[in-house]
Amino acid sequence: MSARDAILAAVRKNLPRPAVPLPENPGPERKGVKHGLGYKEHLTRLPEVPGAPDVNEPLLPYFRRQLEAMGGRSFEAADAAAAGAKVADLFPDAKVVCSAVPEVPGTRTIETVRDPHELNDVDVGVVRSPLGVAEAGAVWLTQADLVVNALGVLSQHLVVLLDPAAVVETMHDAYGRIDLAASPYGVFLAGPSATGDIEGVIIHGAQGARSLTVLLIDQTSR
Amino acid sequence: MTRPVDPEGRAARFIALEMHESTHDRLVWGMRHNRDKAVAGVPEWEDLRELASRIKDHTLTHLDHYLEEFEANAIRLGTHVHWARDAEEHNAVVYDVLAAHRVKSLIKSKSMLQEECGMTPYLQKRGIEVTESDLGERIQQLADEPPSHIVVPAIHKLRTDVAALFAEKIGTDPKDSDPHDLAEAMRQNARPKFMAADAGMTGANFAVAETGGFVVCTNEGNADIGAAVPPLHVASIGIEKLIPRARDLGIFIRMLSRSALGSPITQYTSHFHGPRRGGELHVVLVDNTRSDRLGSPDFWHVLKCIRCGACMNTCPVYRRGGGLSYGATYSGPIGVILGPGFDLSKYRELPFHSSLCGSCTEVCPVKIDISDQIYKWRRVVAAKGMLPLAKRVGMSALGATLAHPSLFHAAEATGEWALAHLPRFLLYNPLNPWGKRRELPAVPKQTFRQWYLENRRTS
């Protein structure tokens, strides 16, 4: 018997009983009902919990606050020129700026990269994310956005363009908007690479990007 | 019978340097504290726990169905799917894939399953260079020790321990124990290994039946580099990692890092669905006693575990004795109930390495009855006649005493007299590990019962 058939047979023989039905996953569509999975419906005020969202707080400031808590930072950029200027301003010493977006041309466009190893010298990578998640301070990036996936992790610093209108509240909302099987790679990136492996001291830039900067810029800005 | 591991002796060696015990306790309890703060910020937390628990219950009671669904969808995406009955078969399958691609060097991210299978020594023996890329795992690899915690593998080491280790192994300044400098030194050391690796390996936190893909959660992004740079990515996935639907991830991802470290999400939550452009993707679905566990009415719930480590962070025994004291791949309360399932004889002492306080059960995000299972494993150990002599004699004497009130009253009075008058060595002797580093309270002049009879009986 193949390993596959042997394992499936052993599993079938040992399935625990009684079988448990699959619970409905309320997901984002049930917001507003008593046991929904959003955050605002439940909240009156939790002053003793730092970082908890305020009922009246708009989504964007909450997203920016959570991103900062994860070690990232964000700036508003009015248009493509402002975004390019911001990158130049933040990284004056960058030699290689590899870009996957038209707003910031950089010194190298990702389309010219054939092999991920070519990205080992990148000082700043620039990409655009189609989705932000407020509660996690995270941006969503797929192979379609990165073109070469390694751009997200080999770049010393990463700049992510994000339309402020593309920020959703919770991870439930986020998973409701993406089609996982449509891309070989997709990552929720919340701040830069980090580690707490030596005495719990939080250090940014463990193996991936040393910093994550989100530039809030309308999708129509280019 | 395999020789049992000796948690008491191992813990004693760990706490021989007092700094280890106090620092470990402070750091691990800090993670539990951060978890509480994060959980308090999610008012629907208990709803999430209940949903997560039921989704896992459902999946495990239909596991054959979900394994087949996952396999079919993964293959459709172009993933090569392998199956392995046990650790040896897992290692052989991995080696065959690597050998077919002429892999000489491998960069891997943290995988408890690969630890469980003893994969690294197996591959090294066959000439493949294996490098751990998670900082904590790399520290443990250089120290030739297993991980002491499933989330932060080197949390039992002081910064000075790491500085000494790195000085010896990668040539850093032994006097520089600044964690920032140590982490930077490892970044510089690891990058060329990522660039030179022929293959990257990862584990998986979740495998989604509906989509045929899997999710890896890291804070360093090391799994992503290993998957994005070398042309070959091989992932080891325990068969219990399945969940039915993509949107179920919303529930589990919201809970995982909040339970582990107190952050709303890990820095990288990475989804792999088929090979990346220009790459090849293999997954190995591994049983290794999981299907046996499924058939055990008392113990199958342990398979719901999402490896967050919350039970370890809250455990008073784990916090004080450190993860290496368990002498097993998995430590802490979850290790206590996983270990005996792999090898009852070897891990028969672990169910007694617990105070049964129940805190682990309270913090578990998927509602595993951890403390009940610890108790049930004690019964299994006793029923198999594997109790150590001291416990056997002590327990039967205790049983008889507690069963007879007159014996109990006599013992109570004698005990108090003895505590007050016996020489120290009789109480703090080597047969009584509880006497080590602990002082008994001062002895009252009379027992409660004597006091009660004198003062309250008549009223």
- Same domain membership, residue B236 and residue B103: yes
A24 confidence band (pLDDT: 50, 70, 90): confident
CB B74: neighbour CB atoms within 10 A? Answer: 27
Closest chain A CA to residue B58:
A20
- Tens of pLDDT, residue by residue over B398-420, are 777 777 888 778 777 776 666 66
Q: Which of B244, B263, B288 is the last residue of a domain?
A: B288
Chain A segment 88-107 residues within 8 A of B by beta carbon are: none
Q: Are B321 and B119 in contact (CB under 8 A)?
A: no
Mean pLDDT, chain B, integer: 93
- How many independent structural domains does chain A possess? 1
Q: Are residues B284 and B433 in the same domain?
A: no
Q: Give B240's pLDDT tier (boundaries 50, 70, 90).
A: very high
B325 within some domain: no
What pLDDT sits at residue A46?
A: 47
Give B-chain residues touching A50 at CB under 8 angstroms.
37
Q: Which one-letter amino acid corresponds to residue A199?
A: E
CB proximity under 8 Å: A 137-166 to B: 137-138, 143, 148-150, 152-154
**Is A48 contained in some domain?**
no
**Domain annotation covers residue A40:** no
Domain finish residue from B265, B288, B311: B288
Q: Is A34 on the interface with B (CB under 8 A)?
A: no
Asked if B104 and B231 sit in the same domain, the reply is yes
Pairing state between β B213-218 and A185-189: unpaired
pLDDT of residue B293: 97
> Phi first, then psi: what are they for A51, rounded to 5°?
90, -10
* Top-confidence residue, B1 or A148: A148
**B288, B305, B331: which is the final residue of a domain?**
B288
Give the domain extent around B438: 405-455
Confidence class for position B426, pLDDT limits 50, 70, 90:
low
Evaluate whether residue A105 is within a structural domain.
yes
Pull the structure tokens for residue B71.
């396999």
pTM for this structure? 0.92
Residue A15 lies in a domain: no
pLDDT at B457: 73
CB-based contact A197 B154, cutoff 8 Å: yes
What is the predicted pLDDT for the residue at B204? 98
Please report the pLDDT score of residue B459 as a whole number: 56
| pLDDT tens string B58-89 | 999 999 999 999 999 999 999 999 999 999 99
Measured in angstroms, the CA of A3 and the nearest CA of chain B are apart by 6
In a domain, A19, yes or no: no
Chain A residues in contact with B63 by the CB 8 A cut-off are 11, 15
pLDDT at B427: 58
A17 within a domain of the structure (yes/no): no
Q: Give contacts of A160 with chain B, Cβ < 8 Å.
A: none
Query: If you write DSSP's letter for every residue of B334-380 in order, what string do you get?
Result: HHHHHHHHH-TTTTTTGGGS-----HHHHH-TT---HHHHHHHHHHH
**Count of other CB atoms within 10 angstroms of residue B4:** 18
Q: What pLDDT digit, counting tens, does each position of B368-389 carry?
A: 999 999 999 999 999 999 987 6
Contact A196 B275 (CB under 8 A): no
**What CATH number corresponds to the domain at position B268?**
3.40.50.10420
- For residue B351, being part of any structural domain is answered with no
| A36-55 pLDDT, tens digit each | 455 455 444 444 555 556 66
pLDDT of residue B444: 80
Q: How many domains does chain B have?
A: 2
Positions of E strands within B121-181: 129-132
| Residue B238's pLDDT band (cuts 50, 70, 90) | very high
What is the per-residue pLDDT for A44? 44
Q: What is the pLDDT, as a whole number, of residue B406?
A: 81
Smallest CA–CA separation between B352 and chain A, in Å?
27
Percent helix, strand and coil across chain B, each to the nearest 5: 55, 10, 35
pLDDT of residue A29: 59
Look at the alpha carbons of A153, A154, A157, A159 in this order and tell me if their dihedral is positive or negative. Answer: negative
Determine the angle formed by the axes of helices B389-403 and B405-421, rounding to 10 degrees. 120
Residue A191 has pLDDT above 80, yes or no: yes
In a domain, B255, yes or no: yes
SS3 B287: coil
Residue A39 or B218, more confident: B218
ipTM of the modeled complex: 0.93
CA angle B425, B430, B432 (to 5 degrees): 90
Name the residue among B184, B222, B291 with its Cβ closest to that of A7.
B291
The 3-state DSSP class for residue B286 equals strand
Chain A residues in contact with B280 by the CB 8 A cut-off are none
The pLDDT, as a whole number, for residue B418 is 67
A75-118: pLDDT as tens digits: 999 999 999 999 999 999 999 999 999 999 999 999 999 999 99
Asked if B273's CB is within 8 angstroms of A153's CB, the reply is: no
- The CATH number of the domain holding residue A74 is 3.40.50.10420
* Residue B212: inside a domain: yes
Q: Is the pLDDT of residue A203 over 60?
A: yes
Provide mean pLDDT across the span B152-157: 97
* B412 within domain boundaries: yes
B353/A222 Cα distance (integer angstroms): 62
Residue B398 three-state SS: helix
Asked whether residue A77 is assigned to any structural domain, the reply reads yes
DSSP lists the bridge partners of residue A121 as: none
pLDDT (0 to 100) of residue A221: 56
Tell me whether residue B108 is in a domain: yes
Can you give the pLDDT at residue B93? 98
Interface check for A127 against chain B (CB to CB < 8 A): the answer is no
Residues B423 and B282 in one domain: no
Per-residue model confidence (pLDDT) at position A28: 60
pLDDT of residue A43: 47
Which element (helix H / strand E) includes B213?
Answer: strand B213-218
